[in-house]
Amino acid sequence: MKTVSIEFPDSVFSALRKDPDEFAQEMRIAAAVKWYEMGEISQGKAAEIAGLNRAEFINILARYQVSPFQYTTQELAEELAALDE
């Protein structure tokens, strides 16, 4: 396991009303959600990055208004067309 250190001004924690540990956890979740949303990583990998299990990660996606399904418009159209055949 690797550790990454990032320095932030103290004012960041008070502005967000989070202690450093809460802030770090929220950063992990936000990064995992964004990378998942962009299609860079799978749900399983995103959950691992966020420090959650997949069910917890899927629930977090709703909080961020991100779909748990990774379909492009083209892929969705193809899936729907296949249903009509």
pLDDT digits (tens, 9 = 90+) for 10-28: 898 888 898 999 999 999 9
Domain-embedded: residue 43? yes
**What are the pLDDT digits (tens) for 36-81?**
999 999 999 999 999 999 999 999 999 999 999 887 778 778 888 8
Helix spans in 1-85 (H):
10-16, 20-37, 43-50, 54-63, 73-84
Domain-embedded: residue 70? yes
Query: The domain containing residue 39 runs over which residues?
Result: 18-84
Separation of alpha carbons 11 and 2, rounded Å: 27
Domain count within the chain: 1
Domain-embedded: residue 7? no
Domain-embedded: residue 13? no
